[in-house]
Amino acid sequence: MKKTIFSILMLLPFVVAAQKSYTISGKLSAEKSPAKAYLVLLKDNAWKEVDSTDIKEGKFRLTGSVIEPQNAIIAVRRDGAPDAGAQRDSQGFFIENSNISIVGTDAVRDAIITGSQSDRENREREEMIKPVTAKIIRLQDEFGKKNADGSFV
């Protein structure tokens, strides 16, 4: 009995350490062209690519750790495709130390991201305030019109 308890206590640091990292597993089922996935985080007030990996047979995997949940961007660049404007294939989400899954067909911008509690809570919050935001925009459009000289109508 003492050996079993001792063995469990010896494994505890490894279990705790395993929870202090993230794994992003992506699958873009229709992705056939050579492409690369990039993880972009906000560092020193600028967005920086912190990790990348090749997408093989539509699958990719990124691992690492963050100190706390934070905004992140997952981006895909295909060989020979423009990297700007409407051609950009990226999606923002909250990254945290958990198993994060990104599943889509041919574009990461339309993929479903799951596994991050912070991201799920943020998306729920955005859905709750969407009607209020739409009303504010409508009121600004209606009452915030300006003349060419900048004065309100």
In whole angstroms, give the CA distance from residue 4 to residue 97. 29
pLDDT bracket for residue 17 (50, 70, 90): very low
Query: Does the pTM of the predicted model rise above 0.95?
Result: no
Chain mean pLDDT for the chain:
86
SS3 label, residue 123: helix
The torsion region of residue 57 among left (phi > 0), alpha (psi -120 to 50) and beta comes to: left
Q: What does the pLDDT look like over 52-108, one tens digit per residue?
A: 999 999 999 999 999 999 999 999 998 877 655 556 899 999 999 999 999 999 899
Task: Give 54's contacts (C-beta < 8 A, 6+ positions apart).
Answer: 34, 35, 36, 37, 60
